[in-house]
């Protein structure tokens, strides 16, 4: 971590960092890594320790990269600690691989101000979504990509309770839908309960053209639609230009992509949208020139290690000192 100066200039006067109000410190600390906020900042001084122990740093919690390598117990402990610190002020939560209903219920019970929820590859199902969705009514952005246990019932429950939902990500891996025949019921759930959607990603769902048209007919504010890999969907370019001139569409066709320098030259293109049709979204699948499916290359991720016998959850995280 770059060394912070001891003094700042404010209205022509020198003031100590520890004299800043906690919410100002929280805004500054939010630009640091999770590791630094939890292990370095609290050791600097008492006022900084108080700032990171309070809600000021935790209105937006993004531990998606870290949670890829953590086990379920570590993820549960981290979420309980950080969400408790947010004291009900949490606005954005990004995680992956949530494995149990208990923690999802904890999130819903303690995040009444939550507006953006991203939980791809999670194991929660329709039943728990139906039970707690009413507590997540302020959500406007939702990502349930690769959540194979969530289906039409869960989507419908989210839609009925999250009246202001404007962005939904529901992209799947082809192998995750291999045992399904049709997912038009999911499209119907989206169309009937999410009329304010502006951004919709439903890549690789097994949908019919009729199902997609139902979404278009009911979600009149839609500006972006991703139907890549929805092989049963047939889109007419002239129809879209005439009826949905402001709608950007990706797919449904996927053209082979030649990998060079980690995706730099992907050139998949949708004539009907004018958009680059193969974006580097985390749930995207590479279609290589030999026809095989490969997982996308990931960046180096942060790993936390917890040990038993510590009363302080932060102290139980074994990280090296910041450089």
According to the model, what pLDDT value does residue 19 have?
58
According to the model, what pLDDT value does residue 20 have?
60
pLDDT grade, residue 79 (50/70/90)? very high
Smallest CA-to-CA distance from 232 within 256, 211, 261 is with 211
The DSSP output letter for 2 is P
Q: Give, for 269, the enclosing helix (H) or strand (E).
A: strand 269-270
Q: For helices 101-110 and 72-86, give the axis angle rounded to 10 degrees.
A: 10
Averaged over 256-275, what is the pLDDT? 35
The CA distance from 166 to 141, in Å, is 6
Range list of H helices, 162-305: 184-193, 209-218, 237-243
pLDDT tens per residue across span 213-244: 999 999 999 999 999 999 899 888 777 778 88
292 burial via Cβ count (<10 Å: 0-12, 13-18, 19+)? exposed
Q: Report cis status (omega within 30 of 0) of the bond before 50.
A: no
According to the model, what pLDDT value does residue 312 have?
46
Highest mean pLDDT among 67-71, 92-96, 241-245, 274-278: 92-96
**Token pair 């108080």: residue:** 50
The CA distance from 163 to 11, in Å, is 44
């Amino acid at each position: 971590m770059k060394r912070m100066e001891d003094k700042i200039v404010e209205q022509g006067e020198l003031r100590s960092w520890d004299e800043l109000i906690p919410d100002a410190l929280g805004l500054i600390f939010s630009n640091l890594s999770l590791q630094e906020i939890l292990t370095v900042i609290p050791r600097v001084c008492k006022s900084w320790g108080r700032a990171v122990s309070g809600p000021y740093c935790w209105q937006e919690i993004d531990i998606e990269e870290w949670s890829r390598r953590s086990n379920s117990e570590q993820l549960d402990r981290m979420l309980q600690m950080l969400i408790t610190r947010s004291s009900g002020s949490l606005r954005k939560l990004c995680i992956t691989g949530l494995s149990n209903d208990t923690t999802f219920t904890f999130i819903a019970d303690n995040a009444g101000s939550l507006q953006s929820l991203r939980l791809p590859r999670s194991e929660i199902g329709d039943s728990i979504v139906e039970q707690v969705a009413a507590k997540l009514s302020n959500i406007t952005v939702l990502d349930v990509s690769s959540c194979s246990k969530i289906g039409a019932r869960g989507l419908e429950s989210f839609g009925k309770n999250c009246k202001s939902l404007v962005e939904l990500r529901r992209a799947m891996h082809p192998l995750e839908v291999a045992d399904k025949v049709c997912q038009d019921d999911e499209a119907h759930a989206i169309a009937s309960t999410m009329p304010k959607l502006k951004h919709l990603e439903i890549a690789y769902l097994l949908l019919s053209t009729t199902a997609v048209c139902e979404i278009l007919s009911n979600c009149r504010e839609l500006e972006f639609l991703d139907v890549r890999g929805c092989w049963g969907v047939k889109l007419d370019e002239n129809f879209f230009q005439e009826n949905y001139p402001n709608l950007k569409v990706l797919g449904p066709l996927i053209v082979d992509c030649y990998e060079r320098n980690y995706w730099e030259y992907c050139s998949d293109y949708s004539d009907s949208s004018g958009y680059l049709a193969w974006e580097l979204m985390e749930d995207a699948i590479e279609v290589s020139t030999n026809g095989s499916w490969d997982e996308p290359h990931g960046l180096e991720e942060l790993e936390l290690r917890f040990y038993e016998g510590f009363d302080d959850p932060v102290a139980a995280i074994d990280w090296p000192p910041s450089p």
